[in-house]
Structure 1
Amino acid sequence: MTQHPLPASIDETLTLLESAGYVADRSLATVLHLSLRMKRPLFLEGEAGVGKTEIAKVLSETLGRDLIRLQCYEGLDVASAVYEWNYPAQMVEIRVSEAAGDTDHTELSKSIFDERFLIKRPVLQALEPHINGAPVFLIDELDRADEAFEAFLLEVLADNQVTIPELGTIKAAEPPIVVITTNRTREIHDALKRRCLYHWVDYPDAERELEIVRRKVPGAAERLSQEVVAFVQKLRADEDLFKQPGVAETLDWATALSELDAMALDPDLASDTLGVLLKYQDDIERVRGSKTRQIIEDIRKEEPKSPAMPAV
């Protein structure tokens, strides 16, 4: 993997994202550019499926940096996220030393708490030197982790370091490119947000979502792509759903319908494949059948009419 320089402007940042097929608005490109230049973590908040995680993947790909991902979950602790000691290997070391008659407990303690026995988890890996430069460190869905772990991250985000009692403080020679995502299932503490640059990633408008579909599902018919996007946009605007479909679901639905050789939205086929777009049965039942047919009729009525041919 070849390392590439950081973008020198907002326009270059937009171009960088577009080169990997990520269609971003200028406000996102601006805060991303500032995050890279200021070496500050980027805190991305928004609904699931709007493309927050993808930004870290795109940065890794386009900048030629390693991607280190920490997937957060309830109960995540230091042993799973930062480091733990290889206890079986340490026990072997102790027994070998005892068999050799080494009874100096001070020296033995130093020996077993050595980096040879340290199992490095994502946080520690992100602070290490990498051949391709500082890695992209994705802390994904932080809102799923406990507040205690969130508090632990303050040292990492503020000083790019962690403290291991047996070894001391380990500090990054070059700060990693940190991207934090949250789906806002709970509020993240202000102390953590203050250490980051913040951006809310919203659902795209119809024009940008259509461009995303064109890039990500190039095999889909143009009319199908347009109607899929119009259908999803109408769901988000008019329907009180438990979970609005994200861009990821839009792409999945366009792909599924394309696989079924659809050239445009068919009411029956659209109803039968709603499970690709919507993830809750109550939402599917609300939209299925006559509602699906009505939405398709409405978006076709709203389609711009072709100008009439001049009389000959």
Structure 2
Amino acid sequence: MLLGGWTRLLSGEDIDSIPGMAWDAQPFAPFSSGPVESEVPRGWFKPHDAQAQVQPADPDPKSVPRFVRVPKAFLAETKRNIMKELKAQGSTEYVGTGDVLMAWWLKTLYSHRSLTDQTPMHLHILRNLRGLPIFANDSPMKDPYIHNAILAIPVPPIPVSAFQTESLGALALCLRRSIMAYNTDFAGLRADLRWRCAESNRQEIVRPCPSNAECLFQTNWGAAKLEDLDFTGAVANNETRTGARVVFVYPLLCSHPTRSRRGITWAVMEDADAVWMCETRGEKDWERIRQASGVTFIDAPFM
């Protein structure tokens, strides 16, 4: 929303013609009152021991961001095959391209882990709440709102070994079922929001997984269509004002990200042929992934 408004201003539009957020917008105010029904939001945990409060020594200290290019043709063919399998089983369920993309990436990321590794993996899929009918009059958010309006869909814990033993279709369907269940559980969503908005919880510390587990966050910026933004208005007056479009979306604000950047998968944009993702992991972890999965790494200096 911010970038869209910015590019329109650059192109000469009057600021009053561009929808903006009211200064006193408080769409989450109703969730600040009412009963708080749970100890933590769904998918989150309170640290119950001192060990959970301390970050262990990092055996893989160098963080490396990488971009991942996944051909659309591969995703489309894989999705068709999964849908054929579901239909042959008499199922009416479906998977989306995003489910297939994430399932493939999970299998790639953890292809080097032991087949006996039962470490629970807690997946959190970030969800934009603006379009859900949970706001005033049980409607979607009607006015522009540029502040945070995101929660995370918790996927039931999956043993790390399952990313090798389960089929791509089974993993994609697991993700789709979690998303569908979350998107229709409006009572659960409101309960999560009441916990988040309660004054009594402002200082609470919660974790995305227990201390004996691992976690991964996944977010998809596809709906923002950042690749379609028009920056023609930014071209200098003495230059030819041809269409100045986005060439690539670079989501990292630092060239040498810290450990805290790890554990987040971004699907950042699409071009005509592929979906682009970005992820930061340890240097040693990337090498193990390369050896086990067979993916090709093309290293270049980061911007």
Q: Which has the larger radius of gyration?
A: 1
Q: Same fold (TM over 0.5)?
A: no
Give TM-score, length-normalised by structure 1. Answer: 0.24
Greater share of residues in helix: 1
Question: What is the TM-score with the length of structure 2 in the denominator?
Answer: 0.24
